[in-house]
Copies of this chain bind each other. A is one copy, B any other.
Amino acid sequence: MIILVDMDDVLADFDGGFLAEWRKRFPDAFYIPLEERKEFYMRDEYPEELLPSMTELFTEKSFVSSLPEIPGGVKAVRTMKEKGHEVFICTSPMRQYSNCVAEKYEWVEKHLGFDWTTRLILSRDKTLIGGDILIDDKPEVTGIRKPSWEHVIFDKSYNRRIVNGKRITWNNWEEILSL
């Protein structure tokens, strides 16, 4: 099987990394605990006046490359590959690409090793990428094509309104995907 694995909030803890740094830098500012998030995009549930400071934080140098791991993700993708599946990390870069794109490669090299950097695919439209499965936390992954993959939702508080289809965590993926 060709398995496409999203990066932010599936392998790399973007939201957790953001929140830790936000709380540290602005301890008195508004924030939403991770488990209370209801929207995929932070911009849809944080007050508009905070968005410039938030954007500054997650576009600054070393933010992406320093993101912590989502526990179990690195081991899971290694296991998929060892079982003979073709695994690619399929990620949509921020529009503010300057630090983001190279640091995604750095993150993968640091956490999975250099060879895995050749398995990175950057595209803002994931329906263009062919595969059997896409593991992604985004509630609905849309684009210009009819996807070839089955979207398996990576469980997060903000995607629980989606009740159809498979839903996994890094604790139960082998069982749910029958891999």
A residues in contact (CB < 8 Å) with B: 2, 86, 88, 95, 97-99, 101-102, 105, 117-125, 127-131, 144-145, 148
Provide the residues of chain B in CB contact with A145, threshold 8 Å.
Answer: 2, 130
Cross-chain contact of A95 among B117, B131, B144 (Cβ < 8 A)? B117
Provide the residues of chain B in CB contact with A148, threshold 8 Å.
Answer: 130
Whether the Cβ atoms of A144 and B105 lie closer than 8 Å is no
Provide the residues of chain B in CB contact with A120, threshold 8 Å.
Answer: 122-123
Provide the residues of chain B in CB contact with A131, threshold 8 Å.
Answer: 128
Provide the residues of chain B in CB contact with A88, threshold 8 Å.
Answer: 123, 125, 128
Of all chain B residues, which has the CB nearest A88?
B128
Provide the residues of chain B in CB contact with A102, threshold 8 Å.
Answer: 97-99, 101-102
Query: In whole Å, how far is A156's beta carbon from the nearest beta carbon of chain B?
Result: 24
